[in-house]
Structure 1
Amino acid sequence: MTITIEVKPEVQTELAVLARARGMDVPSYAAALLEEAALPAPHEPENQNLEEFEKTLDHMAQFSHKIPILPEEAFSRESLYQDHD
């Protein structure tokens, strides 16, 4: 199928830059973007079994004892937004 679309010059420039970075021409890159947007994402495998899940959690927690405990002030509104005016 052939589709003709009008895009703003700045979008055309950005498409050209992104296509070139991937070693593609603009029409091929635009077609790939449309296909990616139109097709559903591949389905992830179903949930892990309990043993695999626990193994993943253990791996994530392996060095959790080295994470320092934050003081209560770290969660105050003033602390979270200290770099905002």
Structure 2
Amino acid sequence: MSRPTGNTPFPDRARTLHPRQHGMEVTTPERPIPVRAWIVTVKGEDLEIDGDAMAWTERAVRVRYVDKFGHLDSAWVWANAVTRR
């Protein structure tokens, strides 16, 4: 699943997990946690990015990052695709 916006061209946006996939019991930290994460774009590019963990569930993490166009973006990714920096 992906979210079209006016910022990042749609095929370059990160795919994001659906709530059914990431789960509904979301934990939100007081401050974002610096992370390194793998994202997959709509057109299928695998990119390792530096970002911040904004929320998480048992299975997934919502990562906020700056894309290759300099725009702020976020996506839910599987937890095993994320490590702390």
Shared topology, TM-score over 0.5? no
TM-score range, shorter chain: under 0.3
Bigger relative CO (Cα 8 Å, ≥ 6 apart) = 2
Q: Which has the higher helix share?
A: 1
Structure label with greater radius of gyration: 1
